[in-house]
Copies of this chain bind each other. A is one copy, B any other.
Amino acid sequence: MTVQTSRHNRSLMEGLRSQLDIDRVGDEMYSLIAELYPICRSITGEGVRQTLRRLREDIPLEIREVPSGTRVFDWTVPKEWNIRDAFIKDSTGKRVVDFNASNLHVVSYSTPVRERLTLAELQGHLCSLPDRPDWIPYRTSYYDETWGFCLADAQRRTLEDGEYEVCIDASLEPGFLTYGELLIPGRRTEEVLISTHICHPSLCNDNLSGIAVCTHLAKTLAAASREYSYRFLFIPGTIGSITWLALNEDRLHLIRHGLVAVGLGDRGALTYKKSRRGDAEIDRVISHVLKSSGQPFQVVEFAPYGYDERQYCSPGINLPVGVLSRTPHGKYPEYHTSADGLDFVKQDALADSLLACLSVVDILDRNRIYLNTAPKGEPQLGRRGLYRATGGAADPGSLQMAMLWVLNLSDGRHSLLDIAERANLSFGPVREAAQILAAHDLLADATYGV
């Protein structure tokens, strides 16, 4: 299923500008997060399906199902996990830990259990954070069949000796791995890949913020004029990207640029982690956007630990895929705990993240390589009305400078982004200068060869 592109002749940026009420969109993203928050997601199961069905109300996502047992590269699609209820009851029959209070209480992919244990026996199945005594940690055991509960350390310390009844009413059976995919076609078949993971239960920054930003990015892009085709993936972490890569290996050559968008709702500064290549166009575009933003930011080198970029940037795949986040994963104490809740993400941070993504897409989509058609000496801009008539003043003005730079560097080896970086200008005026010059036939488009 794909979105029909509106073939009006507006540029992407004009399209984006005309429809974005950024405050409203911030609120909408936050509402979506709030709506998805209670659902118990994992790498498979009904929680994922329920989440994707909700996203289909906003964007025409295709929901794909891959059977358990399917070989995907070095991995195998796991059994499907579903959970209905879980609790720990004390000797009085009181639920001291209750899945209905927080789905973080159960270690994700816990095997079904119903038994009675002493506190000492129970302790081996409990996980808490002594230095964050009020927070429930988030833990998983996807590939090691066991069961466990997470709880606040403060509560754990109140547990008294005696017998406890534990119940995890879950199933771990052959089924499917579920993910969402959306292709928004552009004028070109080459693709920009945008990926976010959907496998975390009630955690907001990681990963509901990514889901919300990607959903609204897709919605905005679908309404704009596009050069590239844009492919969105809403996938479970690690096994999801491995599965998608394995099933789509013959089409990976179409991916020109890619982005893992996740952790985009906290108050921290935007952080870009470069692709494994380190000098891919996506790396340079995002660095340019962050530098031009006037806000604090961080650009870090690739490392093989993090989110799905680990798979997209594995040596046999090596796609130009980076990661855009705010505070990087693991660098904030709330990460993977119950403190990453609805209070932790902010409307304006979500809106700022979406705007950054749109700026990135805008440059990716509008970057061009031109050839100066009058390359010997400067062309006479004055007789075309492109140069101030009176000479002598010291400052030529910034659009004028952008025109001179574009003419000087449009030798077929510099893109507009190259020129913007070399001239220390933002992409916007450089693009504007190029459009004016092209309208006067002083530039010929050589983006795809001459």
Contact = CB atoms under 8 A, between A and B. Distances in A.
Interface residues of A, number: 65
A100 B144 CA distance: 80
A200 to B, nearest CB: 10
A30 interface: no
Interface string A368-393: 00001011111110110000011111
Interface stretch (A8-16, A19-27, A253-261, A314-322): A314-322
B73 A377 contact: yes
Interface string A70-93: 001111000000000000000000
A216 interface: no
Contacts of A245: 376-377
A329 interface: yes
A380 B74 contact: yes
Given A74-B377, A317-B377, A389 B311 contact: no
A336 interface: yes
Interface in A381-420: 382-383, 389-396, 401, 404-405, 407-411
A231 interface: no
Contact of A141 (B303, B376, B389, B401): B389
A164 interface: no
A144 B73 contact: no
Q: How many copies does the complex hold?
A: 3
27 contacts: A72-B377, A139-B393, A140-B392, A143-B380, A143-B382, A148-B390, A238-B378, A242-B378, A245-B376, A245-B377, A246-B376, A276-B408, A304-B405, A305-B404, A310-B408, A313-B408, A314-B375, A314-B376, A314-B377, A314-B408, A315-B411, A316-B374, A316-B375, A316-B377, A317-B376, A330-B394, A330-B395
Given A139-B393, A304-B405, A317-B375, 8 more contacts: A72-B377, A74-B376, A140-B392, A143-B383, A311-B378, A314-B375, A315-B375, A315-B407
Interface of A: 72-75, 107, 127, 137-144, 146, 148, 238, 241-242, 245-246, 249, 276, 303-305, 310-311, 313-318, 329-330, 335-336, 372, 374-380, 382-383, 389-396, 401, 404-405, 407-411, 423
Q: Identify the 6 closest CB pairs spanning chains A and B, nearest first.
A: A316-B375, A330-B394, A144-B389, A304-B408, A316-B376, A140-B391
